[in-house]
Amino acid sequence: MVSLSKILIAKAILVFCFNLSFNESVPFYTVKDNIVEVPIMKLNFYMMNRSDAEAETLRSIRKNVEYLNKEFQDVIKFEIEQFFVDEGHAYLPDLHQEYFGVEELTVDSLVRDLESKGTINVFIFESYFIEDLNAELMGFTPIFKASHKEYVNASPSFDRIFLAYNALGKQTTLVHEMGHFLGLDHPWEMSEINQGMMGLHDEDAIQENHMAYGPRVSGFTNEQLARMQHFALQFRRYLVNRSEFRLRGEIAFNQ
């Protein structure tokens, strides 16, 4: 069993194209090189501390997934597999705290019997305002810092994203957490060289990026999208249950 305390971090968010040009001169025999794989990943949503599914929450979740697909621009496609309701209750900041400390996690007793293999499992809990931070914790994602190859062996324990009910209205939180789930870091954790490689060339680009915090976040860079697709196919392949194959030109046309 993987020792949780030493090797993972739980990335959190607080409140406040690659170039796909269609080359007309491509001869027939290189068509294979122009085929792009679009992995399809399935999502389960677990509405915790609930005895019934509320129509409003279901609507919000569907909107979140629509936005997620829009922001991933057909580089990865997400589909909702199932909704679950469970009366298990904990507060999101307490669960987040746990991931940094103890070996035995409350969260395991709450979610281990519920979670499915082969899907990205999104657990929605209540959150609260943290006075010291002057912010509410909206979501977090437990990840391996380095040994990404371990994801497949640890499945489904590291196929979790945690969201606050309050994050559903905002929609950018799920996108940000999916960024962590697929290998992205916060801009301030990266060296300038790495920022540049991810297309984050100046302060405006950073402020507007989904991996930053704040009101201006609005998109991923093409470099980040390419990185996440690569990460999904390499390290999260066990969660890709099928792929679509398209000609590069089709995707360029769709954009």
Contact residues toward Zn ion (CB under 5 A) are: 11, 13
For Zn ion, the closer of residues 176 and 248 by Cβ is 176
Secondary structure letter of residue 91 according to DSSP: B
Query: Of the candidates 107, 53, 108, which has an alpha carbon nearest to the alpha carbon of residue 80?
Result: 53
Q: Tell the smallest beta-carbon distance from residue 210 to Zn ion (Å).
A: 9
Tell me how far CA of residue 124 lies from CA of 9, 32, 112, 127, 190, in angstroms. 19, 42, 14, 9, 29
Q: Which is nearer to Zn ion, 42 or 176 (CB)?
A: 176
Question: What tokens does 6 get?
Answer: 């030493």
Question: Nearer Cβ to Zn ion, position 71 or 74?
Answer: 71
Residue among 184 and 239 whose Cβ is closer to Zn ion: 184
The smaller minimum CB distance to Zn ion, of residues 13 and 76, is found at: 13
Please, which residue, 7 or 10, has the CB nearer to Zn ion? 10
141 to 11, 178, 198, 243, 251: CA distances (angstroms): 5, 8, 20, 24, 30
Nearest approach in angstroms of CB 81 to Zn ion is 24
Q: Which among 186, 183, 178, 182 is positioned nearest to 162, based on CA atoms?
A: 178
Question: In whole angstroms, how close is the CB of 236 to Zn ion at the nearest point?
Answer: 18
CB of 43 to Zn ion, least distance (A): 18
State which residue, 61 or 174, has the beta carbon closest to Zn ion. Answer: 174
Considering the complex, what minimum distance in angstroms separates the CB of residue 11 from Zn ion? 4
Q: Are 5 and 101 in contact (CB under 8 A)?
A: yes
Q: How far is the CB of 177 from Zn ion (least distance, A)?
A: 7
DSSP string, 119-158: SEEEEEEB--EEGGGTEEEEEEEEEESS-GGGHHHHTTTT
3-state SS class at 116: coil
In whole angstroms, how close is the CB of 130 to Zn ion at the nearest point?
15
Compute the Cα dihedral for 20, 227, 161, 95 and give only its sign.
negative
Residue of 75, 47, 59 lying closest to 178 (CA atoms): 75
